[in-house]
Amino acid sequence: MLAAAGWLAAPQPPDTIAVGQTIQGALRRGDAQTRDKSYVQQWEIVAAEGAVVTIDLVSESFDAYLIVYGPGLPSDLQDDDSGGLCNARLTVRFPQRGVYHIAVTSTEKLKAGPFTLSVASGSKPQALSRCRQH
């Protein structure tokens, strides 16, 4: 659970996502919060050893922030704006077979709204367009 990562105030059971899947969701009042009072939802993905995926989090309502953690990763992987504008993108090579966690959150306190979370096979480059909200 995210609480083990040390930055989540109240964990909620995770939903699941698979490679090739896109989910339309929304951060909402009432979701779990990080210690800095950002809403957060968590997702689980089952990964094969050596698999490479790109995880994108896109939102027009908040400054998207991604965190990935799980077995064999030396630390939490985090991204703010590599997806272009204020969207997040992480390319991950899973070091071992197992269940990994994806946290969908915002850099902004108590900011809610719709988002799109997608997991694609392979890697994608960082986007060059900068976030103007910072």
pLDDT of the chain, 134 residues: tens digit per residue:
344 445 555 456 778 999 999 999 999 999 999 988 999 999 999 999 999 999 999 999 999 999 999 999 999 999 998 998 889 999 999 999 999 999 999 999 999 999 999 999 999 877 767 766 64
pTM across the whole model:
0.88
Asked whether the CA dihedral 25, 51, 74, 88 is positive or negative, the reply is negative
All residues at 6 or more sequence positions from 13 whose CB lies less than 8 Å from its CB, including other chains: none
* Distance of alpha carbon 33 from alpha carbon 120, whole angstroms: 27
Residue-level pLDDT at 4: 40
